[in-house]
Amino acid sequence: EDLHDPLDLGLTPDDNVRAIWMAGTYRYFTDFVTSIVGPPVVPPTPEVTSIRVGKLPARVVERSTVRMTARLFSATSGHPAVNAEVTMFSRHAGGLVWSRVDSARTDSTGLVSLRSPMILNNTELMIDWPGDERWTPVQTAPARIIAVAPYGL
């Protein structure tokens, strides 16, 4: 076999460099069975996602909408989850079935703002992020909002 010493590129063990090489038999330019190989590619471990929700009103006037803001970020490093599409769900307080009501993407700081539909009775809202290859899934606890008649405040 025709082996050559590796090239010294001045890299340290901490450098994030991938190497590839030719493997197989090569007798002549018309007589070879080779392929390009390299180290196994290990998928990245997703960062543990944390979500922080802004203050929500406990009571609103019937037929009002509520804006729910949240910030998604890494629980370990604090880095924001940028361009993550999160979804807001709504249900009658104590109900079993959640309905999708809005979705939006986080900005460069991990901030997202979602708007609820009209609140007609006691309602619970929740934000859900299903996760991806970089971030783990996360969702908020249900936030209960009580709708009151306009004269009941």
SS3 of 151, please? helix
Amino acid at 113: S
pLDDT at 153 over 70: no
pLDDT at 4: 58
What is residue 150's DSSP assignment? G
Least confident interval from 14-23, 29-38, 131-140: 14-23
| Intra-chain end-to-end CA distance of the chain, in Å | 87
pLDDT at 28: 84
**How many residues are given for the chain?**
153
pLDDT at 86: 95
pLDDT at 77 over 60: yes
**CA 100/CA 128 separation, integer angstroms:** 10
pLDDT at 25 over 90: no
What is residue 152's DSSP assignment? G
